[in-house]
Structure 1
């Protein structure tokens, strides 16, 4: 069986200008790839490009052997994402958001599934609040609940530990491992060493390498993180 996610000769950036070196990777079913590096190295840009949120400067990305097509029904069914800029419907409550996601992805017993996510992420007491009434940490937990409640074979998480307390970060680590053990491939950008050690099976390190012609940013895979 081939890799769930592949990138060959991938160059990412803005306006045709690369922000880091060429990325080549393959991530198999049930693996957790952690993407790490200093602030501004290009981690989120790499992951956004892998997830189809922006076009590559060069190279190729494939999911289940097919080109990334974020508007295709099959891609949306297979790929779940949690990015910090993801938006909410302002008039829907927390519970209504999760029910919309659960029903839209044909989750069995959606009411019970929503209750379980509300409890797991500690927002059951805010179930009837609208997003604008939530704290930043509660909004982050709602985004995570929406990402985890739906089935997916590939899950992208961009710094999911942001604005979470240590107890919730540990719960998030367990949830990532549970999804991976069940067969989901996970790509997670993180600055949290504990989350990295507890979840990752491999690591994409994006760093700076000084060359004779100036500063070049490179990316490499380190297996068995």
Structure 2
């Protein structure tokens, strides 16, 4: 349901060695909401998303998804949270279509073939469906990573700089897709350098600086 909190971060602190990165970060993200985290390189955006995705444990504070600890190894968490956090890990011996079909079937999608065809079209990959991922350009590889999050069900989508390597047309289409996902009840958390993408997605914009989240100007 729209407005129901799915993801909560409470007083999260984290650092590497003596360098603090997150200093008391709190965030609540509900169904039907999009939150975009902006900030310069090195501000801690990727760290924040990895912690939200249950891939890294914070030094202090709590991270919960549907009131249970966020843990990417948990079956329920994996079933409901889709992530694209940097260059995708693809199966080198599977074509683009085969890779997406495997993702869809692994998540029990009943109309997997149709869903994969739709994702290929949405992400401008239809003409590259029989290529292997290593043969794709950086931009098409990014679109494959994003397509992999679309062929499976997800209540929460976490994306780290999803606009990387994409041209203006692809960024505009991405913003529209994220807005539509939220309208359908999903929650989206993304880190981005592109304020226009955040605006197209209908996102609440936050700025991460000095380890703290604040409303973006």
Q: Normalising by structure 1, report the TM-score.
A: 0.91
What CA RMSD, in Å, does the superposition of the two structures yield over aligned residues? Answer: 1.6
> Once superposed, which parts of structure 1, at least 4 consecutive aligned residues long, lie more than 6 Å away?
none
Structure 2: tracts of 5 or more residues without a match: none
Aligned twin of 2:215:
222
1:81 to 80, 83, 93: 83
Q: Distance in 2 between matches of 1:111 and 1:161?
A: 26
How far did 1:218 drift?
3.5
Which stretch has the larger CA shift, 153-162 or 4-13?
4-13
Which stretch has the larger CA shift, 32-41 or 197-206?
197-206
Superposed CA deviations along residues 11-54 of structure 1, whole A, max 9, x for unmatched, are: 12224742132201111111001011111111111111111111
Q: Distance in 1 between matches of 2:127 and 2:97?
A: 10
Please say if 1:205 is aligned against 2:203: no
How far did 1:56 drift?
0.7
Q: Distance in 2 between matches of 1:220 and 1:67?
A: 21
Structure 1: tracts of 5 or more residues without a match: 208-216
Q: Distance in 2 between matches of 1:205 and 1:142?
A: 28
Q: Normalising by structure 2, report the TM-score.
A: 0.94
Choose 1 or 2 for highest CA Rg: 1
Q: Distance in 2 between matches of 1:218 and 1:162?
A: 23
Aligned twin of 2:188:
186
Seen in structure 2, the aligned counterparts of structure 1 residues 201 and 125 have a Cα distance that, compared at 3 Å, is closer
